[in-house]
């Protein structure tokens, strides 16, 4: 079931609402015509607060459809503008958990130039200077027979960045056929989860930390 549930809310006040997105849920509407989280949240807020008119739900950032984890939405235009600035100026901290093929024995830093192919909806590593710089670091958490559970910290936010860079070095995400996995996950997900998001509240300036545990599914062993 991929429709929005109030149980997915990890944070809410008058300005923001944070959701623990399930794999398969759309953040923003696309050509499929499937219901998006943004639209479902608007409908939910309209009923919850008995709002007679239109409800505002601004999309601050996105996660790929097969990725799970924390997504933050703005409930006011002022919050949206200020949060967009934080993301743009890299004043937020995002931490991901991923299950990748192969053995990862030590912490590593990656730096590549990436270029998006619009028609394929896929990013590729290209020669330096011919794409957008992409930087991340990752470290092992737990080793399994054929996979390693890792923590990933993004320094930049490029299209499919984690998927592309890890696939390029021979550690594709479990279930991510697009970037080198040999088979898909049973539920159609990829084993990538936005586990933690830290930011300053757009109105109070308070430091906010949102966390969500990895899904309890077979995609995570």
Bridge partners of residue 69, in order along the sequence: 21, 194
User: pLDDT of 19-73, one tens digit each?
Assistant: 999 999 999 877 777 889 999 999 999 999 999 888 999 999 999 999 999 999 9
Burial of 72 (0-12, 13-18, 19+ CB in 10 A): buried
Position 216 in a domain: no
CATH number of the domain within which 202 lies: 3.30.2350.10
pTM: 0.94
The boundaries of the domain holding residue 89 are 6-211
Position 199 in a domain: yes
Average pLDDT, the chain: 95
Position 98 in a domain: yes
Position 219 in a domain: no
Position 72 in a domain: yes
List, by residue number, the catalytic residues. Answer: 64
Largest Cα–Cα separation, the chain: 56
Position 221 in a domain: no
Position 220 in a domain: no
Contact 110, 169 (CB under 8 A): yes
- DSSP assignment of 182-219 equals SS--TTS--SEEEEEEEEE-TTT--EEEEE-PPP-SGG
Count of domains observed in the chain: 1
Burial of 183 (0-12, 13-18, 19+ CB in 10 A): exposed
Position 187 in a domain: yes
Contact 163, 192 (CB under 8 A): yes
Name which of 20-34, 73-87, 155-169, 190-204 the model is least confident about: 20-34
């Amino acid at each position: 079931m991929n429709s929005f549930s109030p149980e997915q809310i990890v944070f809410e006040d008058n300005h923001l609402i944070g959701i623990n997105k399930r794999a398969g849920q759309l953040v923003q509407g696309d050509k499929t015509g499937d219901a998006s989280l943004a639209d479902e949240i608007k409908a939910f807020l309209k009923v919850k607060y008995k709002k007679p008119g239109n409800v505002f739900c601004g999309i601050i950032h996105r996660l790929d459809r097969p990725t799970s984890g924390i997504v933050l939405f703005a409930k006011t235009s002022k919050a949206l503008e200020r949060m967009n600035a934080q993301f743009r100026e890299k004043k937020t901290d995002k931490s991901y958990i991923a299950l990748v093929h192969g053995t990862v024995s030590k912490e590593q830093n990656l730096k590549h130039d990436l270029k998006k192919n619009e028609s394929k909806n896929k990013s590729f590593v290209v020669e330096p200077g011919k794409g957008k710089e992409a930087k991340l670091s990752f470290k092992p958490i737990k080793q399994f027979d054929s996979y390693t559970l890792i923590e990933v910290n993004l320094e930049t936010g490029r299209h499919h960045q984690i998927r592309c860079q890890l696939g390029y070095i021979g550690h594709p995400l479990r279930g991510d056929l697009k970037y080198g996995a040999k088979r898909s996950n049973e539920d159609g997900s990829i084993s990538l989860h936005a586990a933690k998001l830290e930011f300053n509240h757009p109105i109070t300036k308070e430091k906010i930390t949102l966390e969500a545990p990895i899904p309890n599914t077979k995609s995570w062993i």
